[in-house]
A and B are shown apart, each in its own frame.
Chain A
Amino acid sequence: MSTALATVNRGLFRGLNLRQKTLMIIGSTSLLLLAIVVSSVYLGGEPLQTNFGSKNLAPSLEHPFGTDWMGRDMFARTLEGLGLSILVGGLASTISTILTIFLGLLSSTGKTADSFVSWLVDLFLSIPHLLLIILISIGMGGGAKGVVIGVALTHWPSLTRVVRAEIKQLKTQEYIHISRNLGRSKIWIATKHILPHLVPQILLGTILMFPHAILHEASVTFLGFGLSPHEPAIGIILSESMRYLSAGYWWLAFFPGLSLLIVVLAFDLIGENLGKLMNPKNAHE
């Protein structure tokens, strides 16, 4: 019943089939994110110059997100902040993924290694996530380095869990047994037989890790442990806006946060639609 409901083709893009629609969603959201990153890199500092003649302006056509107390255009600041967030999130999730691949393959080589990996996963999940990031970022001396390492070191456990379960299931397969009987080493089996099967899982996991990493980076920066106040990060913008809250400058907090929400949603959308393409069995849900 539910499948019949989902495949009825209606709406604006009824000329396209489901696969084309999925590809279109992925393409357009990726383009949006790419545009944000590129424009934040090439924007330069010009709109961020202070201009006391136009401070604390409400949103208008000229300044769609309003201006702050130094007359800087909030739209430009938000764009810069989003670009920075995406870059930091991207860097941190890449490191996390490399850790996941390494630990996942390590767990496939033997029983002791496997219990070590599962112990490590449990250890990292036992301290509240945000507190652990704060702790690591303090330990690394704070700043951009601290927050990247903090976010990178704390996002691998959940993906590693998934990968470990997948590996466990793969290891019961016939071809692995045969390969072992043929005298292949554990490392050879891990890299040649198991790794290729994990690629879709890991790719998807990385993309779905992005939004978490971005949100955590923004949270930690908001609390004051992450990027320095000179950077145009979203967390900094929002924590500054708290001081102007009672003055009624609502746009200082509202638009930057909303843009962050949209970026996070875009990553979720890409991840989910890619999942549909890679794993067509569950696509009808």
Chain B
Amino acid sequence: MLNNGKIAGFIGKKTLRLVSLLIVVCFASFMLIQSSPIDPVRAYIGEMPVTAEHKAKLEEYWGVNTPPQEKFLNWAGDIVKGDFGTSLIYRTPVIDVIKERFTASLVLMGVSWLFAGILGFVLGIVAGMKQGTWVDKAIKTYCYALAAAPTFWLALVLLMVFSVYLGWFPIGLSVPIGVTADNVTFFDWFKRLILPALTLSLLDVAKITMFTREKLIEVLSSDYVLFAKARGEKGLDLVLRHGIRNVALPAITLQFLGFSELFGGTVLVEQVFSYPGIGQAAVAAGLRSDVPLLLGIVIFSTLFVFFGNLIADIIYEFVDPRIRQQEASI
């Protein structure tokens, strides 16, 4: 029963939540950075020699001596106006850096997210169908091992095997040497996407496979499947008709709830493959004290996670309210 009142209430509640969340996240992350021994002037001038006079000017410009509350209000005021400041390492507006980097990362995350979801679901269905056989055991072992593997190590191993030994893929850089970013052919770009995407999805597969497997086993031991079996349905047909329909939606929801881990994986994978995405920018910003960029990335990644959760919530609330009831009963 979809009525307008419920939808309006849902949207209102979520908007309120998003706004309050953003305010708290901005405040908390700003204060965290404030408390760290980062010197913005040092970060700006880097290793250049400067006169004391010049330094004092810069200190005034960066507001070293203004109290933190005032600094926060200034910064937050700018954020509300849509001005995220200027990145110290890229020397361009933060918003431009994030736009460019996030698009690259979204492609990477999207590809691996889809691939992991589909592969994980299929593996989970197969394992659940063949529960207890060697196929099931092999899939389970694979999942356990992958769930325990450090992301960056798997990335390193794949890089060693496919780039260093087999030479199928380039070792780093998303753009070939001597070619500007505008002239990259689709194939070049695609070639550099494969390994990072593969790493990311291999790791993601484990969670969704185990979940799908458990759910399918649960469904297959239910009364209505017993009845269907009594009617003569069997094999793949039975699973397709009764299993997949019941398992698909919770599995999709779980995939949306995994945005936070997906982002974390992307940071590590991008670092190993030097893929110019948001994760690499975040690490560079953190290591080289680029505070405006780091805070900007925190805000946008929070939004990213929020929208993942929001989609999962929409599925809970409107598409299949049973999931919510199940969660509540656990």
Asked if B260 contacts A125 (CB within 8 A), the reply is: yes
Asked if A138 contacts B131 (CB within 8 A), the reply is: no
Asked if B144 contacts A222 (CB within 8 A), the reply is: no
Asked if A131 contacts B267 (CB within 8 A), the reply is: yes
Contacts known (A257-B153, A260-B150); A245 close to B171, Cβ less than 8 A: yes
Q: Which of B31, B153, B264, B297 is the one whose CB lies under 8 Å from A260?
A: B153
- A142: nearest chain-B partner, CB-CB: B36
Question: In whole angstroms, how far apart are the Cα atoms of A49 and B23 in the complex?
Answer: 51
Asked if A126 contacts B21 (CB within 8 A), the reply is: yes
Asked if A238 contacts B287 (CB within 8 A), the reply is: no
Q: Which residues of A contact B305 (CB under 8 A)?
A: 125-128
Asked if A223 contacts B150 (CB within 8 A), the reply is: no
Size range of the chain B interface in the assembly? 35 or more
Q: Which residues of B contact A268 (CB under 8 A)?
A: 144, 147-148
Let me know if B272 is at the binding interface, CB within 8 A: yes
- Shortest Cβ gap from A254 to chain B (Å): 7
Contacts known (A126-B21, A253-B156, A261-B153); A138 close to B145, Cβ less than 8 A: no
Total contacting residues, chain A, CB less than 8 A: 47
Asked if B21 contacts A138 (CB within 8 A), the reply is: no
Chain A 141-182: CB-based contact to B (< 8 A → 1; otherwise 0): 110000000000000000000000100000000000000000
- What are 30 contact pairs spanning A and B, CB under 8 A? A2-B217, A6-B132, A126-B21, A126-B305, A126-B309, A130-B267, A131-B282, A134-B286, A135-B298, A138-B36, A138-B38, A139-B31, A139-B32, A218-B150, A219-B151, A219-B264, A222-B150, A223-B271, A223-B283, A223-B286, A245-B156, A245-B164, A245-B171, A246-B171, A248-B164, A250-B160, A253-B157, A261-B145, A265-B145, A268-B144
Q: Which residues of B contact A (CB under 8 A)?
A: 21, 24-25, 28-29, 31-33, 35-38, 131-132, 144-145, 147-154, 156-157, 159-160, 164, 171, 217, 221, 259-261, 263-264, 267-268, 271-272, 282-283, 286-287, 294, 297-298, 301-302, 304-306, 309, 330
List 6 tightest A-B contacts by C-beta distance, closest first. A257-B153, A139-B32, A130-B264, A128-B263, A264-B148, A265-B148
